Structure 1
Amino acid sequence: MTLSRQTWTGVACALAGAAAVAAISRRRKTERLLHVETSRAFNRSSALLACSVLTDSAMEHYRGAFSNVAMYVPPAVATFSLLAGFHGGADRTPSTHAVRHAIYWSAALTGLAGTGFHLYNVMKRPGGWSWQNLFYAAPLGAPTALLLSGALGAAAERLRNQPAHEPRLLGMPAGKALGLLSGIGLAGTAGEAALLHFRGSFQHKAMYAPVSVPPAASALLLHASLAKPQPRWLARAMLQLSWLVGWVGTALHVRGVARHHGGWRNWSQNLFNGPPVPAPPSFSALALAGLAALRLREGERQ
């Protein structure tokens, strides 16, 4: 049986229509996956920061004998933020989880209050705002990391509730907002590392890495967030290098502890006197968030 020309035309149009519908469906699925995957990446970044804060605050507040009842709060809140990050990192649901969102806001507020307490601790010492007190008083960067953990997690939860095709946060495209948040956080973390490495007189050449690579990555990420959306290979490369700097720094800090008298056999003393092992992963956490924000930003319209 011979089919007419009109029949063949109809079949061709139907196939073309089906192909177009399939292409649109694949595109929307990709957008939806990018939308949710960015949120999950920010949940994981928040968890890594919370783990760093939990370990560091537990150690430092233990060294301070928990002389103030409020010193129990940061480790407890960081634990909940860590668990929320694990849960969010595995959650593919495109909607805000109320409990996680509340935990993240609690972490952000706790970090903000902790920054105030630590600032007060610096200012009440003889000499007030001085290098000596910045070096040896309560560290200003520690509670700020908890604030960042909460902010990254809260942003992830807000992002899940946005339309997948054009998510927005704080009145701007979500990729732009998340890129600004990650870039500022990365710059602040580099500033804290610069202060402590300056205290250590940069006695090892590797100590220059966290005060050069992450600031460059931060500047490139901030530029990518504010400029016209387009592929930014250099920003991506520097963020990946910052991620690596975090883990290499952790290994070097572990080695620094081992080089103290007694090494890891005397861990109860050397962990407090050696370089802080929980600190460098903060770079990896914020670089992970920056990479996710950059992927989202590159796909946005001007």
Structure 2
Amino acid sequence: MKRTVITIGLGLACGVAALSRATGRIENEQEKQTHIDTARTFNRSSALLALSVLADSAMEHYRGSFDNPAMYTPLVVSTLSLFAGLHGGRDSHPRRHAVRDSVFIAAALAGVVGTGFHLYNITKRPGRLSWHNLFYAAPIGAPMALLLSGALGAVAERLRDEPAHEPELLGMPAGQALALLVSAGLAGTLGEVGLLHFRGAFQNPAMYAPIVVAPVASLLLANTAICAPRERWFTRLWLRVTTALGFIGVGFHARGIARNRGGWRNWSQNLFNGPPLPAPPSFSALAIAGLAAQRLRETER
């Protein structure tokens, strides 16, 4: 009888240990899948930003007659970043892709250099950093979208290299670092939008929407990063609103183009004179990345 009891006890102990190991493996796989899904979402966000940059720079640099050969650079780099982001969005492997990573780093560097070129374009004009030059010279904030596209893609590749258990970026928990990155990106994008909508004198009350929605999204993500990890339903809701705002903004910009003389029948002129059609999706891209960072942050301890 005593031997039977001991045998049963040992069997139960072995069963509990096996169950514990199986549970640990399942949890590890779930954590691994969460941070790979986050990396893929950041790749898709990078691709959407690259598409916005490609369309916008193609139009604006065509209007500038590609006066400087360097004006072809953002078209080439954003195209490569677009394809790299789309490829990464489909890739579920937990390893950094060397080619994609190189493309994203090149895009970020091109964004920095482009910002320098645009700043030079502004300051060489009479009046230098005047309101007129900020409104009508090379848009100083435009290359920053390419920088963000490269940055989002590059951090996605580094996230893939992290172990499944509590991945880190820049010495911080990955969710925290990504939330801070997206928060800064939203704040930076807001500056360009505010400048252009101010130039448009806020003729339509809807032009205030990104000025109100984006700063709140940025602050909520900063709060997510700074405070202890927990579920934040309001942050997720606000980021979804920000995502929708970007796509709705395309409709408002299309309406602004249609209101010019000749409307869409005169598209070859009105696309350049109306509000920039490719610009609003940048908010959607960053909000999508913010949602992914929020999900990852909620799993951190």
Scaled by the length of structure 2, the TM-score of the pair is 0.96
User: What letter is aligned with 2:51?
Assistant: C
In the other structure, the counterpart of 1:297 is 297
Q: 97-106 or 251-260, which moves further after superposition?
A: 251-260
User: What letter is aligned with 1:37?
Assistant: D
Q: Percent identity?
A: 61
User: Does the 8 Å contact 1:253/1:274 carry over to 2?
Assistant: yes
Find out whether 1:62 has 2:65 as its counterpart.
no
User: What letter is aligned with 1:216?
Assistant: V
User: What letter is aligned with 1:128?
Assistant: R
Gaps of 5+ in 2: none
User: Does the 8 Å contact 1:214/1:238 carry over to 2?
Assistant: no
User: Does the 8 Å contact 2:29/2:164 carry over to 1?
Assistant: no
Distance 2:248 2:19 in 1: 48
Q: 1:59-107, CA deviations, whole angstroms, 9 ceiling, x for partnerless residues?
A: 0000000000000010110000000000000000101000000000100
Shift of 1:5: 4.5
User: Does the 8 Å contact 1:159/1:167 carry over to 2?
Assistant: yes
User: What letter is aligned with 1:43?
Assistant: N
Residue-pair matches, total:
299
In the other structure, the counterpart of 1:21 is 21
Q: 1:211-233, CA deviations, whole angstroms, 9 ceiling, x for partnerless residues?
A: 11111010110111112222222
Find out whether 1:231 has 2:208 as its counterpart.
no
In the other structure, the counterpart of 2:83 is 83
Superposed, 1:119-268 pairs within 5 Å as 119-268=119-268
Shift of 1:296: 1.2
Shift of 1:265: 1.8
3-state DSSP of counterpart to 2:201? coil
Q: 1:235-282, CA deviations, whole angstroms, 9 ceiling, x for partnerless residues?
A: 222111110110110111112212222222211111111111100000
Q: 1:184-219, CA deviations, whole angstroms, 9 ceiling, x for partnerless residues?
A: 001111121111111111111111111111110101
Distance 1:162 1:4 in 2: 47
In the other structure, the counterpart of 2:288 is 288
User: What letter is aligned with 1:23?
Assistant: T
| Runs of 4+, deviation exceeding 6 Å | none
User: What letter is aligned with 1:150?
Assistant: G
